[in-house]
Amino acid sequence: MPRALKRRLADFLQWHSVQPVLHQTRELMFQGIVQRDLARLHVIDDFYPLGGAASYALLYLLVRLLSEDRISTVIELGSGESTRLIDRVKTLGTRHVCYENDPVWFERTKSRLASCDYRLRSLQRFRLDSIEYEWYGDVEPEPFELLLVDGPVGTASLSRVGCWQLIESNPNRDYLIIIDDSTRPGEQATIDFLIERLKAKGDAPVLHRIESGNVPAVICSGRFEHVRYY
């Protein structure tokens, strides 16, 4: 068999056979950690990390960040299991703002939240340089230390790039930006875009991926650089 064909076959097996098995194995590990930590925090574990919902890898990351690191403000784009988790796990004094564009989902979710500043916003058309995209209307820029980007519905190119609106206006040099579904081409393009723009601002962002579930990626800066080891 020609060497090039062997390489393509090996890559195919790695992507379609080996990686899914590794990701599922790691999800079981993160499930155990999440269940242990929720029990320690006396939080009822009624979450459903299935399908398009937050994976155990993302829930693990959120529980650990909110438990171990001093985070004053969380802004979340898109809502679901992660919204409910943050609402229950965050410490007293941590501000949690979440934007959602689907009215039906918003009504279903809001009654299950205790202290989240949950905002329904329709999608509007925006332009960034030569890039046109849909994003939440009437988003209020404010300082944050944790930004979770998991909405609106992803696109094939520069998915959810509207998050730059909040990032560009953020005065904090110490921050975390979590991008879920990071291996999809649209999200990967947005990660590259964000890192390039952040470096142009003079920041020194560090990228860390958790190879499990939907493969959440986290961009770390300043006092949160240690999160690369989470």
Cross-strand bridge partners of residue 208: 218
Stated as kind and residue range, the H or E segment containing 188 is helix 185-200
3-state secondary structure of 51: coil
The tens digit of pLDDT for each residue in 122-152 reads 999 999 989 999 999 999 999 999 999 999 9
pLDDT of residue 13: 47
Share of the chain above pLDDT 90, in %: 82
Two tokens at 95? 């501000």
Residue 139 near residue 124 (C-beta atoms within 8 A): no
Pairwise CA distance, residues 179 & 66, whole Å: 17
pLDDT of residue 50: 82
Which portions of the chain are predicted below pLDDT 50?
Answer: 10, 13
Two tokens at 159? 């998915």
Q: Nearest Cα to 89, choosing from 39, 158, 152?
A: 39
pLDDT of residue 207: 98
**Mean pLDDT of all residues belonging to the chain:** 92
Dihedral through CA 17, CA 23, CA 79, CA 196, nearest 10? -90
Domain limits for position 219: 3-229
Phi-psi region of 99 (alpha: psi -120 to 50; beta: other; left: phi over 0): beta
CA atoms within 13 A on the CB side of 73: 14
Distance of CA 72 to the CA centre of its chain: 17
Domain count, the chain: 1
CATH of the domain at 100: 3.40.50.150
Residue 116: partners with Cβ closer than 8 Å, 6 or more residues away: 83, 86, 87, 96, 97, 98
